Amino acid sequence: DAGITQSPRYKITETGRQVTLMCHQTWSHSYMFWYRQDLGHGLRLIYYSAAADITDKGEVPDGYVVSRSKTENFPLTLESATRSQTSVYFCASSDVPRTSGYEQYFGPGTRLTVT
Amino acid sequence: GNSVTQMEGPVTLSEEAFLTINCTYTATGYPSLFWYVQYPGEGLQLLLKATKADDKGSNKGFEATYRKETTSFHLEKGSVQVSDSAVYFCALSDNAGNMLTFGGGTRLMVKP
């Protein structure tokens, strides 16, 4: 299917476990982003990537690791999950900003609960 | 740094009422401004955008004008429908266009 997909859609894990959230896009967009959405905070950027093998920190990167070996995939790993990482995670992609009008396309989200 | 402030919700309106959701921003340079909408259980979708001062973005009956003098980008719709019930996010891009800064979101509930 064309577009941007995330998996799993729902995940429950225990404190201290490693969790990986997957994101896949079929548009060959250069840029990909990970956000978390929490009540009272809106969306906050965790990490972003300008191209394969190029990643950079956003506003709230602590406790997260990303990689981007292929243009279409941008997994987000919580190395040792904590309760404060309970959130809804959104992946987004964008073409080179100056040619796309800066529009980002969002996936459906992953609801993660850390117990 | 950049920031976006939106009016807190929820905003509850009757069908066909007039909608205004306020958004103000702080940014250096000349950011682009956006409104995104999030329907229940879904990701965000771009609703409209404006890339320079005095531009008006519009889509699906919604409008917003980029006001540099008041650093505002208020969202308006003349007659809301039940299907407009969603969370609305105001956002701005940095000068390089790489990243978006979002406001906290405003939940709109439209009753029949």
For residue B106, give the chain A residue with the closest CA: A42
- pLDDT of A108 above 80: yes
Q: What is the pLDDT of residue B72?
A: 97
User: Tens digits of per-residue pLDDT, A5-52?
Assistant: 999 999 999 999 999 999 999 999 999 999 999 987 789 999 999 999
Query: Would you call A90 an interface residue with chain B, using a CB distance cutoff of 8 Å?
Result: yes
Q: Cis (ω within 30 of 0) for the bond into B31?
A: no
Average pLDDT of B40-59? 92
If phi > 0 it is left, if psi is from -120 to 50 it is alpha, else beta; for residue A50 that is alpha
CB contact under 8 A, A48 and B89: no
Closest partner residue to A42 (CB to CB) among B41, B99, B105 is B105
Distance CA A43, CA A52 (A): 24
Average pLDDT of A102-114? 92
Q: What is the pLDDT of residue A53?
A: 92
Contact A23, A91 (CB under 8 A): yes
Average pLDDT of B44-59? 94
Distance CA A73, CA A60 (A): 21
CB contact under 8 A, A90 and B43: yes
- HEC string for A4-50: EEEECCEEEECCCCCEEEEEEECCCCCEEEEEEEECCCEEEEEEEEE
Q: What is the pLDDT of residue A98?
A: 65
- The sign of the torsion formed by the CA atoms of A66, A70, A71, A75 equals negative
Distance CA A21, CA A78 (A): 8
Query: Would you call B82 an interface residue with chain A, using a CB distance cutoff of 8 Å?
Result: no
Tokens of B104: 């906290």
Chain A residues inside the 8 Å CB shell of B89: 42-43
Query: Would you call B27 an interface residue with chain A, using a CB distance cutoff of 8 Å?
Result: no
Q: What is the pLDDT of residue B94?
A: 76
From B84's Cα to the closest Cα of chain A, the distance in A is 19
From B80's Cα to the closest Cα of chain A, the distance in A is 23
Q: Cis (ω within 30 of 0) for the bond into A8?
A: yes
CA-CA-CA-CA dihedral for A27, A29, A33, A34, to nearest 10: 20
For residue B35, give the chain A residue with the closest CA: A103
- pLDDT of A63 above 70: yes
Contact A109, A87 (CB under 8 A): no
From A33's Cα to the closest Cα of chain B, the distance in A is 9
User: Tens digits of per-residue pLDDT, A71-101?
Assistant: 999 999 999 999 999 999 999 999 876 655 6
Closest partner residue to B102 (CB to CB) among A42, A108, A109 is A42
| Residue A113: strand pairing partners | A12
Q: Could you tell me whether strands A54-57 and B33-38 are parallel, antiparallel, or unpaired per DSSP bridges?
A: unpaired
- pLDDT of B9 above 80: yes
- pLDDT of B97 above 70: no
- pLDDT of B22 above 70: yes
Distance CA A57, CA A6 (A): 20
For the purposes of burial, counting CB atoms within 10 Å of the CB of A83, is it exposed (0-12), middle (13-18) or buried (19 or more)? Answer: exposed
Contact B70, B93 (CB under 8 A): no
The pLDDT > 70 percentage for chain B reads 97
Closest partner residue to A43 (CB to CB) among B46, B89, B98 is B89
